[in-house]
Amino acid sequence: MARAKSSTSTKETPAKPVHSHAHMPKPKVLFVASEVYPFAKTGGLADVVGALPHALLKLGCEVAVVMPKYKIISPEKYKLKYEINGLAVPMGMGDLNADVLSTRLGDTHAKVYFIQNDRYFDRDGLYGTPEGDYQDNAGRFAFFSRAVLELLRALDWYPDVLHLNDWQTGLIPAYLKTLYSDQTSFKQVKTLFTIHNMAYQGLFPKYILPMTGLRWEEFVHEKLEFYDQVNYLKSGLVYSDAISTVSPTYAAEIRTDEFGQGLQGVLNLRSSDLHGILNGIDYDEWNPATDKEIPAQYTVKNHDRKIESKIKLLHELGLEFKAQTPVIGLVSRLSDQKGLDLIAEAIEPFLAMDVQLVVLGTGDLRYHEMFEALKNRFPQKLSVNFKFDNRLAKLIYAGSDMFLMPSRFEPCGLGQLIAMKYGSIPLVRKTGGLSDTVENLSPEGKKGSGFVFENYKAEDLLFTIRRAVEAFHQPKIWKELVHRAMTKDFSWDASAKQYLELYRQIQRK
């Protein structure tokens, strides 16, 4: 498995000798992201940027985080303090203003900064409403990106590495390599751009370019231009000093036509700067031994207590509890990426089996409609919950026997990692991070931590569900399987060390 590789690079070059860094000062890192747990979250990105800084602090790095101040972030709850009033942010059409607020990251001394501009961020959603994306996202995230650089100038604090995440931060390396290139204080500031999902690129009509402040000479095929549009993700890939993505397998996949989403050429040009580092999960947050949201805490030693969560979950959702019927959880964005079209194709024979399916998620309207219609036909087998709800998510991880994640593509995936920790056996397709983290149950049942199928076909999904249900009815095999899944270690420690090593590599550039 790719996870076993010690190198973070996708290249097959021999590993460089490991130097002792014991006496080197640890890099100063600023994380820049559009969502950070617990302040604002729509998916795995928030989990990663909420957790990785903690792991790096433990390794001795100086860390700070910056994100937009959305409406849902309560100043009272997070004790936000004004850091800077009226920071001037030069945009193409003149200066805009940002206020900068701050708080502490958890109970650490590290700071989280919030860029506040009510016109851009005082809205209900992060990127849009259920009806669609906000029309001014190009302006919102160009402004955010530029404000981050102006914040550093105002603080007179220059990190060694700007750790940027996804398209919302993609213009930052472009600004650094153009408008800021002759500012001496920024000369030593290097950028690492992390891709959490190639499918979201921040594509905008070219007429927005002057608003960003960047010049038309950047709007060429080698740089920002992508089929006559401005592509913020491409900007991150082209101008950053190094690129990473969130699993070794996805790092290799995105260089191919099938997964590159049109940017495989750019990634191949930068293959020597492209790294794959697997996400971890924060076991302080995701741990059935300490989870207050579930009725009975448990560890690998007494995981039969999961049954209390199963009873509570089914009761709460109005489904009858039957110990012998496996409950299958699905906590996910309801989109094609997550395999929802495959589930749609397989759903009738799937629900004809003796199973109960519990769905929590929001997403494409057609999947809302599909589940809504099925609910009436299978009232005792299916519960659908169209909302974003952390508490219910945890009860599903704890109260389900299996966790369904048949993604078409998956950069890393956190659902399967959380599920394993809670003893819910993942049922996944062999792609991206799923293939790096879930091992198929061996034929004799002695090895593996889940059920894995390869081809993106409804019949293969169904075959795998059947295989899982059969294994569920073999108590000894199932118990050992749960044991192996729960004892897998996907904590951040190992991955944070790989990031630290990568920061050092970038600093030497």
Annotate 262-298 with three-state secondary structure.
Answer: CCHHHHHHCHHHEEECCCCCCCCCCCCCCCCCCCCCC
**At closest approach, how far in Å is the CB of 390 from ligand ADP?**
5
Q: Please give the torsion angle defined by the CA atoms of residues 214, 218, 223 and 225, in that order, rounded to the nearest 10 degrees.
A: 90
Amino acid letter, 490:
F
CB closer to ligand ADP out of 390 and 455: 390
Residue whose C-alpha is closest to residue 67's, from 91, 109, 102 = 102
5-24: which residues touch ligand ADP (CB under 6 A)? none
CB closer to ligand ADP out of 362 and 507: 362
- Which region among 88-96, 120-128, 228-236, 355-363 touches ligand ADP (by CB under 6 A)? 355-363
Q: How far is CA 224 from CA 156, 199, 216, 252, in A?
A: 29, 17, 10, 23
16 secondary structure, DSSP code: P
Q: Is 28 in the site for ligand ADP (CB under 6 A)?
A: no
- Which region among 168-176, 328-336, 470-478, 495-503 touches ligand ADP (by CB under 6 A)? 328-336
Q: How many alpha carbons lie under 13 Å from residue 427 in its C-beta half-sphere?
A: 25
Q: Is 206 in the site for ligand ADP (CB under 6 A)?
A: no
Taking CB under 6 A as the rule, which mask of x and - marks residues 69-98 in contact with ligand ADP? ------------------------------
Q: How many residues bind ligand ADP (CB under 6 A)?
A: 18
CB closer to ligand ADP out of 44 and 339: 44
- Which region among 72-80, 179-187, 255-263, 406-414 touches ligand ADP (by CB under 6 A)? 406-414
**At closest approach, how far in Å is the CB of 69 from ligand ADP?**
22
Q: How many alpha carbons lie under 13 Å from residue 425 in its C-beta half-sphere?
A: 27
Q: Is 334 in the site for ligand ADP (CB under 6 A)?
A: no
Q: Is 359 in the site for ligand ADP (CB under 6 A)?
A: no
Q: Rounded distance, CA 252 to CA 11, Å?
A: 9
Q: Is 474 in the site for ligand ADP (CB under 6 A)?
A: no
Q: Please give the torsion angle defined by the CA atoms of residues 110, 46, 202 and 385, in that order, rounded to the nearest 10 degrees.
A: -160
Residue number, nearest CB to ligand ADP = 44
Q: Is 43 in the site for ligand ADP (CB under 6 A)?
A: yes
Q: Pick from 100, 214, 393, 458 the residue near ligand ADP by CB under 6 A.
A: 393
**At closest approach, how far in Å is the CB of 397 from ligand ADP?**
7
**Cis amide linkage into residue 38, ω under 30° from 0:** yes
* Residue 168 CB contacts under 8 Å (≥ 6 apart), including other chains: 33, 34, 141, 144, 145, 202, 232
Q: How far is CA 169 from CA 29, 149, 421, in A?
A: 15, 11, 32
Q: Is 380 in the site for ligand ADP (CB under 6 A)?
A: no
Q: Pick from 414, 427, 496, 500 the residue near ligand ADP by CB under 6 A.
A: 414
Q: Pick from 27, 399, 413, 448 the residue near ligand ADP by CB under 6 A.
A: 413
**At closest approach, how far in Å is the CB of 279 from ligand ADP?**
7
Q: Pick from 44, 326, 339, 399 the residue near ligand ADP by CB under 6 A.
A: 44
Q: Is 127 in the site for ligand ADP (CB under 6 A)?
A: no
- Listed in sequence order, the DSSP H helices in 35-88 are 44-58
Q: Pick from 194, 245, 332, 437 the residue near ligand ADP by CB under 6 A.
A: 332
- Which region among 49-57, 69-77, 258-266, 354-362 touches ligand ADP (by CB under 6 A)? 354-362
What's the N-to-C CA distance of the chain in angstroms? 30
Q: Is 344 helix (H, G, I), strand (E, B) or coil?
A: helix
Q: Is 50 in the site for ligand ADP (CB under 6 A)?
A: no
Q: Is 415 in the site for ligand ADP (CB under 6 A)?
A: yes
Q: Is 333 in the site for ligand ADP (CB under 6 A)?
A: yes
C-beta contacts of 388-395 below 8 A and 24+ residues apart: 388/42, 388/362, 389/360, 390/293, 391/293, 392/360, 393/331, 393/360, 394/291, 394/293, 394/294, 395/293, 395/294, 395/309, 395/312, 395/313, 395/316
Residues that bind ligand ADP (CB under 6 A): 43-44, 47, 331-333, 360-362, 388-390, 393, 412-415, 418
